[in-house]
């Protein structure tokens, strides 16, 4: 619909916006406002809780860039992604992790669908419910995605129904990563992280000299050994002064969910996902310890990222360790993910598959 209803109450949606030259879809109700960059990966650029004026998505210092007006100075397989990385939430398909060569094609960091434009069509527009459909197709692997985001009045939960489609005539394997980065001022050392009972895996290799976690460790949530001999409680969020940068992975969850709750403001952000598809939850701990390009010590954020596979060394590595997800020729793989804002006291004991957060 080219001319949508211009309501001033209830659910609202509009695809008539641009942000820094990129087509942007805005959907909101009385509780939350969501901004999606249709021309750049259908990235969720903003997810804000309106009553408390709380933004959950992390913003990178360099922000949104229009590819038509910004050309990276080199063709680096990491830089081509990082130079355009504005923070927020990306769909990384068919490859998540560091650059790799698979099926005769080069894949850069987290390639390739989050750097492509997506078609956007409003499919429902009423005061009670709004929904928008996004679609795109891969270039270097014939994997397409059909995604519908919906929001109901009175609910602080965004629902995402996503289908990955192998449009080729050859079976392939994929890594599907939901790259969700949370940042300040919501994120602080007043936050606490909740997940179901699970195993924790630490990254097996050194990739920066500010890593604090013991490499290649596996054990029960939440205590993880540090290289200095102490234990790190993953339920607690360190401050930026921690100056660490680590990767870890949670797995073995009976239910797929997590919640980050700021104990000072009582505001929280929660995500649910199907744990039979996303068998791992990547935990990127960028706690002020990223030095050099592109962080330069400026960044304080965490990524809590449902993924089919592990670890972040790329698709080929996941194929070799047996964690890549098969996607047969013509197969359609559908998942439902929720993202919710919540306000309340007490520890989080569960996030249901429809986004309801239980506390206390």
CA 210 to chain centre: 23
CA 336 to chain centre: 14
The pLDDT of residue 237: 98
CA distance 175 to 307: 7
The overall pTM is greater than 0.85: yes
Q: Which residues have a Cβ under 8 Å from the Cβ of 76 and sit 6 or more positions away?
A: none
The pLDDT of residue 92: 96
The pLDDT of residue 238: 97
The pLDDT of residue 206: 93
Cα 283 to Cα 98, 195, 245, 255, 307: the distances in Å are: 15, 12, 11, 17, 10
pLDDT (tens, 9 = 90+) of the chain, 360 residues, equals 566 678 899 999 999 999 999 999 999 999 999 999 999 999 999 999 999 999 999 999 999 998 888 888 888 888 888 899 999 999 999 999 999 899 999 998 998 999 999 999 999 999 999 999 999 999 999 999 999 999 999 999 999 999 999 999 999 999 999 999 999 999 999 999 999 999 999 999 999 999 999 999 999 999 999 999 999 999 999 999 999 999 999 999 999 999 999 999 999 999 999 999 999 999 999 999 999 999 999 999 999 999 999 999 999 999 999 999 999 999 999 999 999 999 999 999 999 999 999 998
The pLDDT of residue 322: 96
CA distance 81 to 107: 11
3-class SS string, the chain: CCCCCCCCCCCEEEEEEEECCEEEEEEECCCEEEEEECCCCCEEEEEEECCCCEECECECCCCCCCCCCCCCCCCCCCHHHHCCCCECEEEECECCCCCEEECCEEECCCCEHHHCCCEEEEEEECCCEEEEEEEEECCCCCEEEEEEEEEECCCCEEEEEEEEEECCCCCEEECCEEEEEECCCCCCCCEEEECCCCEEEECCCCCCCCCCECCCCEEECCEEEECCCCEEECCECCCHHHCEEEEEEEECCCCEEEEEEECCCCEEEEEEECCCCCCEEEEEEEEECCCCCCCCCCCEEEEEEEECCCCCCCHHHHHHHCCCEEECCCCEEEEEEEEEEEECCCCEEEECCCCCEEEC
Q: What is the CATH number of domain 59-114+140-146+170-359?
A: 2.70.98.10
> Measured over all CA atoms, what is the biggest interatomic distance in the chain, rounded to whole angstroms?
61
Q: Which two tokens stand for residue 275?
A: 């744990």
- For residues 223 and 204, is the Cβ–Cβ distance under 8 A? no
Half-sphere exposure in the Cβ direction for 271 (13 Å, CA)? 24
The pLDDT of residue 4: 67
The pLDDT of residue 47: 98
- For residues 166 and 329, is the Cβ–Cβ distance under 8 A? yes
The pLDDT of residue 158: 98
CA distance 12 to 232: 43
- For residues 60 and 44, is the Cβ–Cβ distance under 8 A? no
Q: Which two tokens stand for residue 318?
A: 């996941």
CA distance 192 to 325: 31
The pLDDT of residue 75: 81
The pLDDT of residue 78: 87
CA distance 325 to 91: 15
């Amino acid at each position: 619909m080219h001319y949508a209803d211009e309501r001033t109450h209830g659910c609202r949606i509009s695809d008539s916006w641009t942000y820094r030259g990129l087509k942007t879809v805005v959907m909101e109700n009385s509780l939350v406002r969501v901004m999606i960059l249709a021309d750049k990966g259908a990235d969720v650029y903003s997810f804000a809780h309106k009553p408390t004026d709380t933004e959950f998505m992390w913003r990178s210092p360099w922000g949104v860039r229009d590819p038509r007006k910004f050309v990276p100075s080199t063709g680096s397989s990491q830089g081509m992604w990082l130079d355009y990385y504005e923070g927020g939430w990306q769909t990384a398909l068919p490859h998540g992790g560091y650059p790799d060569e698979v099926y005769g094609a080069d894949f850069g960091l987290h390639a390739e669908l989050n750097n492509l434009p997506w078609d956007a069509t409003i499919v429902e527009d009423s005061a009670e419910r709004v929904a928008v459909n996004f679609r795109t197709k891969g270039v270097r692997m014939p994997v397409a995605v059909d995604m519908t985001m919906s929001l109901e009045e009175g609910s602080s939960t965004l629902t995402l129904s996503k289908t990955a489609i192998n449009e080729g005539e050859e079976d392939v394997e994929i890594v599907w990563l939901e790259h969700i980065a949370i940042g300040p001022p919501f994120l602080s050392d007043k936050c606490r992280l909740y997940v179901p009972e699970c195993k924790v895996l630490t990254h097996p290799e050194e990739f920066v000299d500010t890593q604090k976690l013991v490499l290649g460790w596996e054990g029960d949530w939440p205590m993880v050994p540090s290289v200095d001999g102490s234990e790190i409680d993953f339920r607690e969020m360190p401050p930026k002064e921690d100056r660490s940068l680590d990767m870890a992975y949670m797995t073995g969850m009976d239910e797929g969910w997590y919640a980050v709750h700021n104990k000072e403001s009582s505001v929280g952000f929660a995500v649910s996902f199907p744990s039979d598809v996303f068998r791992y939850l990547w935990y990127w701990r960028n706690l002020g310890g990223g030095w050099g390009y592109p962080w330069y010590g400026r960044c304080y954020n965490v990524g809590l990222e449902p993924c089919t596979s592990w670890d972040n060394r790329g698709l080929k590595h996941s194929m070799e360790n047996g964690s890549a997800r098969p996607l047969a020729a013509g197969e359609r793989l559908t998942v439902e993910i929720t993202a919710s804002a919540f306000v309340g006291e007490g520890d989080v004991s569960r996030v249901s598959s429809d986004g309801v957060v239980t506390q206390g």
